[in-house]
Amino acid sequence: MRKFLMKIIECINPYLAKNGGPIILAQIENEYNGNDQAYVDWYGTLVTNEFSSTEIPWIMCNDHATNSTIETCNSCNCLDDDWIDRHLHDYPNKLMLFTENESWFQTWGLAVAIRTTTDFAYSVAEWFAGDGSYHSSYMWHGGNNYGRTAASGITTMYSDDALLHADGTPNEPKYTQLSRLQHLITNYAQV
């Protein structure tokens, strides 16, 4: 794994913020559901020692973090599952980052997952009202898996309920309403 990560760092190096690129943040582990703290600490050591030259913050999600990483929320609503309160208690000096506010993939045989515009917008507004620092919509743009690239049981259509449909057309009224909310937050954000 270390060798693979070193190759990734080599590939993204020109795109890091310190080199004038757009990469300002990276995730070292996603949705690790195990309880091997030594594994989590190993990632923290990599970030602190071998990846410190990237000069970017490193994040982890699903209740795992080290002193050198930032734990992020990965949910549809971080307040409902007490993530905000727990994070403020466990990491009072670390930013609150919301990395996956989910639209979702489609599985064969199940109804299409639809998330209302109201629910999505409320979770974003509630996040920033609760002192959140960063929010990412996962996914912003629906898509398609081509060939045999989809996971087992997943259709080729991906997250068509996102702000942009898989064909690139706006998913109204979600697209317009959430765009307005983002502009509103941006206008009043203190940087």
Q: And the tokens for 83? A: 């993530």
Which is catalytic among the residues 31, 50, 55, 172? 31
| 3-state DSSP percent of the chain in helix, strand and coil, to 5 | 35, 20, 40
Give Cβ neighbours of residue 160 (< 8 Å, ≥ 6 apart).
106, 112, 142, 166, 171
Gap between the Cα atoms of 132 and 22, Å rounded: 22
Give Cβ neighbours of residue 103 (< 8 Å, ≥ 6 apart).
113, 115, 137, 138, 139, 142, 159, 161, 162, 163
Spell out the alpha helix ranges (H) of 1-110.
2-12, 37-45, 83-90
Which is catalytic among the residues 29, 50, 55, 100? 100
Active site residue 71: no
Q: What angle do CA 104, 101, 31 make, to 5 degrees?
A: 80
Active site residue 172: no
- Only one residue has tokens 């060939």, namely 147
Active-site residue set: 31, 100
